[in-house]
Structure 1
Amino acid sequence: MSALRRFAIATLATITATVTPGVAVSAPPPEPATPLQQAMKAMQGMSLEEKIGQMFVLFGYGPGANLPDARNTTLYGVATPAEVVAKYKPGGWIYFNARGNVENPTQLATYSNQLQQVATSTGLRVPMMIATDQEQGVVVRIGPPATQFGGNMAHGAARSTADARTAAGITGRELKAMGIRQDYAPVADVNVNALNPVIGVRSYSSDPQLVSDMTAAQVQGYQRDAGITATAKHFPGHGDTRDDSHTSLPTINHTLQEWNTIDAPPFKAAIKAGIDSIMTAHIVVPSLDPSGDPATLSKPILTGVLRQQLGFKGLIITDALEMAAVRAKYGDAEVAIRAIEAGADQLLLPPAPDVQFNAVVDAVKSGRISESRINESLLRIMLLKLKNGTLFNPFVDPAKVATTVGTPASLATAQRIVDKSVTLVKNNAGVLPLSNEARKILVTGFGVTTTQSLANSLTSRGATTTVAQTGTAPSDAAIADAVTKAQANDVTVVLTSKAWDTTVTDKLAKQQKLVKDLLATGKTVIVVAVRDPYDIAYFDQAPTYLATYGFAAVSMESLAKVLYGQIAPAGKLPVDIPVAGQPQTPLYPFGHGLSW
């Protein structure tokens, strides 16, 4: 028996064990009869270049497969996403709202079909696995009318694994209707560092057990309930860093015992729950690999720890290779080769596609990487496409999107779930709940859409509202304007977003100054952190403080309900809020939360 076939049988046994009745791939051909035979038949006849193409996950600028965009020409040498697919024959594709390719769910369904038409009509004729980062909360690629939830830390505050699973199921079914079969979620990082600039509320909690429970629940929601692929990230754990891996290379100095106690449990829980895919982190963890290489390029971490120690048999995908952290030590060509040598199966968002694609081809031809190593990854990719329906049923019906995405039932469920997450941290003045009497309310602080959403919710409850959006780094003039407006209103609600963030001096100083100047008016001021809950440490003199963990309209509606006493605040802090400058001293401990 060949090494590839032995590997295939072992891999298939793991993958098929996680398939739940009712979510099998639709309408496979009658022959070949077994999943292993189907996957291996799809691999037959592939050239080396086609095999390697399956290991790349690309994207295209613009909202349609056949629309030219000069940015595509700059990156890929061809103008349209369709030409990108035809040129590279990639195994995966990713949607990004910030890159002009997301307009609305129906457009995405059409776009997905256009891409798959190209993939299945040229070359090897294998559909792509289309993915996106729909984490919910603060990382959302597809906004309304798609159903929005509060995000991971909101789930952690509500403490309901059932609700977390329901949210993932709804999100997954909506993505599937758009032709998206893989979500780069859930985030399994344990946010034990209140000054973490890149994870924060993307994590469920600072408690490894709570993160583990929520991670497993959402894996089940995505994979068992929705039938799409979940992706736990960022292995081996990105929760304790002061550096952002988008711009620099972080080091996690956990001991091996700390890693096993803090970072590993959620990934173990994800594997036990049958997770299909795990994404790597561009972080250095000396206790796991003293070489100084980021985990994405570390064979001791990806193969030694994830594959051998934790027993993960599914797909390993890198975090985006365009990020600065993974490019800091080696050139782009070497990064692609080393990621595969480390154990990665797919390379996400290569910044130099021609260079990196050709580097991998040359590495195989020179013998540095064996073709059997490429075949191992290829088989994992094909088996996963088979499991989630991509291989034989890649197309969707755009006309049916409206009956699946953002339905009244899903929106009502999302509101019910988010309602449980709002956390009342301080109510020293006894201001809350507000009575139903008529009053003038100023809504100021972070977010053009967020401040207006809250104002709309308050207006619907009888308030006369004024909006003075100031952003994350308000100017002195904007602060003075907000103070003047506060003096003319009965109540001010000021929204903060990462006001603790010392990585941006102006943001730190200006948001804190806004809050302090508003408090100095002597008027009633309610401070609400709409992202990380840690902000209160920097203006603890505020008598009334709440945390919503998210800034979407659904979170602002829940906040309005709490402010007016329509629901009692039910959220409990899923993290410690430390004293400013004293990370080991809790100001408000894990589990704290007031109610009435």
Structure 2
Amino acid sequence: MIFQAVLAAVLTTGSGVPHDPLAGMTLAEKAGQMVVSYVYGDNATAPSAADAAANQAMFGADVRTGAQAVAKYHLGGVIYFTWSHNLGSPAQIAGLSNGLQAAAIADTGVPLQVSTDQEGGVVNRIGAPLAVSPGNMALGATFDPRQAEQAARVSGTELRALGINVVDAPVVDVNTNPANSADGVRAFSDRTPHVAAFTTKAIQGYETAGIGTQAKHFPGLGDTTVNTDNGVAVTDESRAEILKTHVPPFRAAIKAGADSIMAAHIVAPSLDPSGRPASLSRPIITDLLRKQLHFNGVVITDALDAAALAGYTDQEIVLDAVNAGVDQLLMPRNVPLAVQTLIDAVGTHQISERRIDQSVRRILRTKTYDPYVPATPVVGTPDHLATMATAAARSITVLRAKDLPITSQNVLVTGWGVSTTTNLAAALSATRLYTGSPSEAVIQQAVAAAQQADVTVVTTYNAWSDPTQQRLVTALLATGKPIVVAAVGAPYDLAHFPAATTYVAAYGYQPVSVTALAAVLRGTAPAPGHLPVTIKGLFRYGSGGVAGPSDVDYLAR
């Protein structure tokens, strides 16, 4: 089915002059197209009483439903989250999508952008029964970009079945800072060519699935330590360093056909001496991304409720972002005010309507999808699950292997992650002792249990930033018993445990990665993964299993 916005873009007048799809849109409708917001509820027209009240608090007393929010503010997009009660069963999600689309089509005739952060790995909004992808660093550890393409194709196909037509992925940051709390395992690698190669294939995979893409976070969050959701992130790298290391994957994304690019809230003084975050910076968005990189697709901000923007008013954020060259405003703190600010800015000549039209044209160009989907989505098929399992199996990286394979039946699994330790213990037929970020008493309990076991597997998740996990692993290693350290986050943890004689990187805690990890530990599967980052002083990029020549050659091209 082709709807009005798409039809208008291709229809011509009798004189052969293309019809302008913006000709029939009001300023309010155009302003609304520039806003992507969340709404509360698992149903577009019949939310729970609590969700209806949440919508009223957010959008006004006359807006109880997501459909009403879409229609009243002519929203260009909606983003789904679990906490806004959008993501339940596949059938429920498809029904919500269809209901919100019906509201958008009835309002303006323009399909609604429906998105979510389904990156795979640690940022994954929808789990089983969908086929869940390993995260980017796990895919990077395969050293085969085709794994990223296949995983993206499967993930994109399943999202489209739910009525989600844009995936807020891939992350194309180059994780050059091991203490990065924003990226870490969300990044493919710490090497620019590696990230660029995987970026290209991931976007191609999503395109094959017919879903829009959103490369993020421009101009790159890889050198930061602060997550912009929690505070102000600054990079002190020079302009030359940023252009050489962090920008090339965005070039690759543009060349591969990325529909949109997300602007980060990072402050990069070498790119903009004013100290404005990239999302509000004309030198970064217009001069660098638009003019130098020649990107004429949609630029969307990172979430505008981020702590990094706490020093700006709601109106300043809207005006500065649009004047910087941004097209879409993601999750404004006050949606009604954001829309009204755009309308008022035209009246006060702070923003021209011509400038608004530029953004809306870019947005409408991406809305070529049929918005409606079948009520009963097909997801989690055997071939889809197999694709993800293959990628996970190829990612597991053994860096030290003294106590592998595990042949004993008297095995203890302890450490980080409630579901991680549960799933791993079940796969290994092991005893489980969950510790999380343990107290000293819990550490001693784990030490006592390890002394009674033949082998202990301790899981870590970014222990480099958690002293309690560091103390747990150090105490277990001091027992002198066989200890297997398994990182289910970034592999940089090993730098804190140089005495570990068995160390395995799984790069994620999704069940698909835990299953692959267990197979390697038991010796029923090989560990072909390579380290896609450097662990300073211990292991260089590429350490790990042995890749086939075709994989190495493929990355070199």
> Structure 2 length as normaliser, TM-score?
0.93
Which of 167, 171, 196 is residue 187 of structure 1 equivalent to?
171
Which of 400, 416, 429 is residue 426 of structure 1 equivalent to?
400
CA 171–40 in structure 1, closer or farther in 2 if over 3 Å, else same: farther
**What is the 5 A alignment of 1:466-485?**
466-471=431-436, 473-485=437-449
How many Å separate the matches in 2 of 1:367 and 1:308?
A: 24
How many Å separate the matches in 1 of 2:170 and 2:336?
A: 31
Residues 9, 21 of structure 2: 8 Å contact kept: no
Residue range with higher mean Cα deviation, 512-521 or 361-370: 512-521
Q: Does 1:59 align with 2:38?
A: yes
Secondary structure (helix, strand or coil) at the match of 1:527 reads strand
Secondary structure (helix, strand or coil) at the match of 1:396 reads coil
Match of 2:331, as an amino acid? L
Q: 1:98-145 CA deviation, whole Å, 9 max, x = no partner?
A: 3322112221101101111111223x2322110111100110011111
**What is the 5 A alignment of 1:426-505?**
426-427=400-401, 430-435=402-407, 438-459=408-429, 465-471=430-436, 473-501=437-465
User: What residue in structure 1 maps to residue 491 of structure 2?
Assistant: 533
Secondary structure (helix, strand or coil) at the match of 2:518 reads helix
TM superposition shift of 1:32: 5.4
User: What residue in structure 2 maps to residue 132 of structure 1?
Assistant: 116
Match of 2:94, as an amino acid? A
How many Å separate the matches in 2 of 1:417 and 1:36?
A: 44
How many Å separate the matches in 2 of 1:470 and 1:352?
A: 40
Residues 418, 555 of structure 1: 8 Å contact kept: yes
Match of 1:129, as an amino acid? Q
Residues 445, 468 of structure 1: 8 Å contact kept: yes
Match of 1:83, as an amino acid? Q
Match of 1:364, as an amino acid? V
TM superposition shift of 1:154: 0.7
Residues 105, 142 of structure 1: 8 Å contact kept: no
Residue range with higher mean Cα deviation, 92-101 or 268-277: 92-101
Q: Does 1:154 align with 2:138?
A: yes
Q: Give unmatched runs, 5+ long, in structure 2.
A: 548-557
**What is the 5 A alignment of 1:219-230?**
219-223=203-207, 225-230=208-213
Q: 1:198-238 CA deviation, whole Å, 9 max, x = no partner?
A: 11010000000000000010010001x10111110000111
TM superposition shift of 1:476: 2.4
> Structure 1 length as normaliser, TM-score?
0.87
Q: 1:292-335 CA deviation, whole Å, 9 max, x = no partner?
A: 0000000111011101000001111110000011333x211110
Which of 356, 362, 387 is residue 380 of structure 1 equivalent to?
362
Instruction: Give the alignment's Cα RMSD to 1 decimal.
Output: 1.9
**What is the 5 A alignment of 1:144-293?**
144-223=128-207, 225-293=208-276
Query: What number of residue pairs does the alignment pair up?
Result: 537
How many Å separate the matches in 1 of 2:458 and 2:388?
A: 25
Which of 347, 372, 386 is residue 365 of structure 1 equivalent to?
347
TM superposition shift of 1:259: 1.2
How many Å separate the matches in 1 of 2:438 and 2:43?
A: 37
Q: 1:410-461 CA deviation, whole Å, 9 max, x = no partner?
A: 111111111010111112xx211223xx5121111111111111122212xx
User: What residue in structure 2 maps to residue 352 of structure 1?
Assistant: 334
Which of 388, 391, 414 is residue 417 of structure 1 equivalent to?
391
Residues 131, 385 of structure 2: 8 Å contact kept: yes
User: What residue in structure 1 maps to residue 531 of structure 2?
Assistant: 573
TM superposition shift of 1:81: 1.5
User: What residue in structure 1 maps to residue 552 of structure 2?
Assistant: none
CA 367–36 in structure 1, closer or farther in 2 if over 3 Å, else same: farther
CA 383–434 in structure 1, closer or farther in 2 if over 3 Å, else same: same
Identity %: 46
TM superposition shift of 1:276: 1.0
CA 311–544 in structure 1, closer or farther in 2 if over 3 Å, else same: same
How many Å separate the matches in 1 of 2:491 and 2:529?
A: 12
Match of 2:229, as an amino acid? H
Which of 494, 498, 514 is residue 556 of structure 1 equivalent to?
514
Q: Give unmatched runs, 5+ long, in structure 1.
A: 1-25, 460-464, 502-507, 579-585
Match of 2:544, as an amino acid? G
Secondary structure (helix, strand or coil) at the match of 1:285 reads coil
CA 44–495 in structure 1, closer or farther in 2 if over 3 Å, else same: same
How many Å separate the matches in 2 of 1:252 and 1:406?
A: 40
CA 551–32 in structure 1, closer or farther in 2 if over 3 Å, else same: closer
Residues 296, 326 of structure 1: 8 Å contact kept: no
TM superposition shift of 1:71: 2.3
